Amino acid sequence: MASRSESQESGVNEDLDSENIVKADEPVGNLSKYYALPPDFSGAPKKGHLMFDACFESGNLGRVDYITEFEYDLFIRPDTCNPRFRVWFNFTVENTAPYQRVIFNVVNFSKTKSLYREGMTPLVKSTSRPNWQRIPAKNCFYYRCPDHRKNYVLSFAFAFDNDTDVYQFAYCFPYTYSRLQTFLEGLDKRNMECYKRELLCLTIQQRRVDLLTVTSPENMKDDLKKRVIFITARIHPGETPSSYVCQGVIDFLVSSHPVAKVLRDYLVFKIVPMLNPDGVVLGNYRCSLMGFDLNRHWQEPSPWAHPTLVACKNHLMQLDEDENVHLDFYIDIHAHSTMMNGFMYGNIYDEEERFERQAVYPRLLCANAEDFSMSNTSFNKDAVKAGTGRRFLGSCLDPKTHCYTLEVSFFSYNTAVSQGMSPYTEEGYFKLGRNVARTFLDYYKLNSLVVPTKKNALKSSQRKDSNGDGKQRMSGRSDYSGKL
């Protein structure tokens, strides 16, 4: 495990250029069906006068400057009430001319360190090609630009090949609040006994913060002893991969996969899949409606400014105090804008045994998930992180509770097998989620907390039969990786 400076953890103001922190000319609203016209043009827009729009859920584009008919400067709209964060963009372009070629320059990023340096490129889809694709790396350039106060600029060339299409460009695969609600409504309709959805609280703008419980029906009863794993995601609204990973966890846990069944029999999963719905809808990168980075306010959240944190924290504290509950894990899922792979951050504890115990789960996950990196995983206790969920909860929950931040790259992972970069797809993020879930079986097996028991021995013998080779296999990879 590398010892890393805290500046590498997602969520640090690592590279906010001082010159870059506040600019009076930053846009404050999203563009709404805005035609970028030549300065001397008057009259109705013609074909090829590009129309930009970001007035939709999770949209973000604040301003477009027409440079020539071939080139446009694009300005990210800063987070609401917090002009320091300008990373997430998500907008549409239409009214293109046949085979029109353009260069877009994104000129006001608030970060300089970026995976664009490592070959990441923006995503695009269009009406006739509705699956997201990465723009080819040969068409993208990330460089310090003398024309923009030496800011780092991302330039990309693009050819519009169908003049009736609407094209959408985004920093990463979008995952909106509405998409989550649709996904959860789909689960509701299945009427599964192992799944419960509750309203944890409402946001300032009156959106739902959902609390899901996944476990066997017997474990839903209040007065039983239970082991609880608590997972949260999307406290940072622009970190869309965290929602894909979280959905991967949920999909696996409610499935008929034999590992999922065992996990539900012995564990209770509590999941808050979106901690900052307002920020997600607004198209922010890091902040809430009121401009707060919620992952710096766990210590003393206020009911009026951080209601989702208050509700989540209260629920966690109730679990911690409940003598029938062992709160074994708290995992908060994020996405990382400068590092590759999936990896974790944990805490540094004075007790050696606790510190060692904490390293077990990441090691097991590393064995199960080819994209998870143990060398990127690190433990720290930097002061600047004191307000994060992982740090705060690690200091106040029972010492037996493991608290982690799970990070996944916005871009890519390296594998020993491929010996090169494998850019993440939506499916790649889902898969990491499935691996996160099934690794709990390995963890509890190792700690002899789940197996062997009478009930479980029965299950494994049933699976032994289905393997047909007479061998009992309970641990993850060799048995189930093919199905994952």
Give the interface with Zn ion as residue ranges (CB under 5 A).
Answer: 10-11, 236, 239, 334
Contacts 24+ apart (CB under 8 A), 201-207: 201/307, 201/308, 201/310, 201/311, 202/307, 203/276, 203/277, 203/278, 203/289, 203/307, 203/308, 204/278, 204/288, 204/289, 204/290, 204/307, 205/277, 205/278, 205/281, 205/289, 207/177, 207/277, 207/278, 207/281
**Toward Zn ion, which CB reaches closer, 237 or 362?**
237
SS3 percent helix, strand, coil of the chain, rounded to 5, is 30, 25, 45
Active site residue 19: no
Q: Closest approach of Cβ 151 to Zn ion, in Å?
A: 23
Token representation of residue 339? 């590092």
Which residue of the chain is nearest Zn ion when measured via CB? 334
Q: Where are the beta strands (DSSP E) in 44-166?
A: 51-53, 63-68, 71-75, 90-94, 101-106, 123-126, 133-134, 140-144, 152-159
**Toward Zn ion, which CB reaches closer, 27 or 174?**
174
Q: Closest approach of Cβ 180 to Zn ion, in Å?
A: 17
- The DSSP bridge pattern shows strands 63-68 and 140-144 to be unpaired
Which secondary-structure segment (H or E) carries 441? helix 426-446
**Toward Zn ion, which CB reaches closer, 96 or 409?**
409
Cα dist. 382→298, 313, 345, 374 in Å?
15, 21, 12, 20
50 close to 34: Cβ distance less than 8 angstroms: no
**Toward Zn ion, which CB reaches closer, 11 or 122?**
11
HSE toward the beta carbon, residue 24, CA cutoff 13 A: 0
Q: Closest approach of Cβ 293 to Zn ion, in Å?
A: 9
Q: Closest approach of Cβ 431 to Zn ion, in Å?
A: 20
Task: Check 69, 321, 407, 426 and give the catalytic one.
Answer: 407
Q: Closest approach of Cβ 462 to Zn ion, in Å?
A: 41
d(CA 353, CA 208): 40
**Toward Zn ion, which CB reaches closer, 10 or 308?**
10
**Toward Zn ion, which CB reaches closer, 104 or 392?**
392
Q: Closest approach of Cβ 201 to Zn ion, in Å?
A: 21
The residues carrying an active-site annotation are 407
